[in-house]
Amino acid sequence: MTALDTVTTEHAAWLPAEALAPIGALRVLVLGSELRADTVRADALAATTRWGGQLLDDLALGADVVLALAADLAGGTEAHHPAVAAALATGRDPLGPEGFAVARVDGVTAVVAGGGSGLLYGWFHLVRTPTALRGSNAPAERHEPAHALRMLDHWDNVSVHPVMGQVERGYAGASLFFCDGKVRGDLSRVARYARLLAAAGVNRVSINNVNVGPDAARLLTADLDDVRRLADVFRPWGIRLHLSVTFAAPISLGGLPTADPLMPEVAQWWATATAAVYAAISDFGGYVVKADSEGQPGPFAYGRNHADGANLLARALAPFGGIVHWRAFVYNHRQDWRDRSTDRARAAFDHFAPLNGQFDENVVLQVKYGPIDFQPREPVSPVIAAMSATRLAVEFQVTQEYTGQQRHVCYLAPLWSEVLGFRPWGQTGSTVSEAADGGVVAVSNVGDDAFWTGHPLAQANLYAFGRLAWAPSSSPTALLDEWIGLTLPQASAGVRRALHSLMDGSWRTYESYTAPLGVGFMVSSTRHHYGPGVDSYEYTPWGTYHFADRDGVGVDRTRATGTGFAGQYPQPWRDVYESLETCPDELVLFFHHVPYGHVLNSGSTVIQHIYDTHFAGVERTDEMLREWAELEGGVPGDLFARVAELLVEQDRSAREWRDQINTYFFRKSGVPDAQGRRIF
> Consecutive 10-residue runs of the chain (680 residues): their mean pLDDT?
62 98 98 95 98 91 93 67 87 89 96 97 98 92 97 97 96 97 97 98 98 96 98 98 98 98 98 98 98 97 98 98 98 94 96 98 98 98 98 98 98 98 97 98 98 98 98 98 98 97 98 97 96 97 96 98 98 98 98 98 98 98 98 97 98 98 98 98
Query: Around Cβ 190, how many Cβ atoms within 10 Å?
Result: 19
CA distances from 517 to 308, 319, 375 (A): 39, 48, 12
Which of 70, 62, 50 lies closest to 113, judged by CA? Answer: 70
Given a contact cutoff of 8 angstroms between Cβ atoms, the answer to whether 311 and 319 are in contact is no
Third-level CATH fold of 150-484: TIM Barrel (3.20.20)
Amino acid symbol at 382: P
Q: How far apart are the first and last CA of the chain?
A: 34
Say what the pLDDT of residue 6 is.
52
Residue 115 and residue 117: Cα distance in Å, rounded? 6
3-class DSSP state of 359: coil
Give, in order, the Cα–Cα distances in Å from 78 to each of 59, 83, 133, 143, 172. Answer: 10, 8, 19, 19, 47
The DSSP H or E segment spanning 101 is strand 100-105
- pLDDT for position 76: 61
Spatial distance between the Cα atoms of 90 and 138, rounded to a whole number of angstroms:
13
Res 4: pLDDT: 53
CATH 3.90.1330.10 positions along the chain are 511-555+593-669
- Residue among 368, 473, 552, 450 at smallest CA distance from 174: 450
CATH 3.30.379.10 fits 17-143, yes or no: yes
Give the pLDDT score at 72. 86
Q: Is the peptide bond before 672 cis (omega within 30 degrees of 0)?
A: no
What CATH homologous superfamily does 511-555+593-669 map to?
Alpha-glucuronidase, C-terminal domain (3.90.1330.10)
Specify the 3-state DSSP secondary structure of 135. coil
pLDDT of residue 161: 94
Residues forming CATH 3.30.379.10 domain(s) in the chain: 17-143
| CA gap 321, 507 in Å, rounded | 39
Q: What residues are annotated to the active site?
A: 294, 373, 401
Residue 234: what pLDDT?
Answer: 98
Q: What is the model's pLDDT at position 119?
A: 98
Which secondary structure element, helix H or strand E, spans residue 640, and what is its range?
helix 637-669
> Would you give the DSSP letter of residue 112?
E
**pLDDT value of position 145:** 98
Q: Assess contact for 435 and 481: CB atoms under 8 A.
A: no
Residues of the chain with CATH 3.20.20.80: 150-484
**Are 588 and 604 contacting, i.e. CB atoms less than 8 angstroms apart?**
no
**Interatomic CA distance for residues 192 and 183, integer angstroms:** 16
pLDDT value for 2? 60
Q: What CA–CA distance (Å, rounded) separates 85 from 93?
A: 15
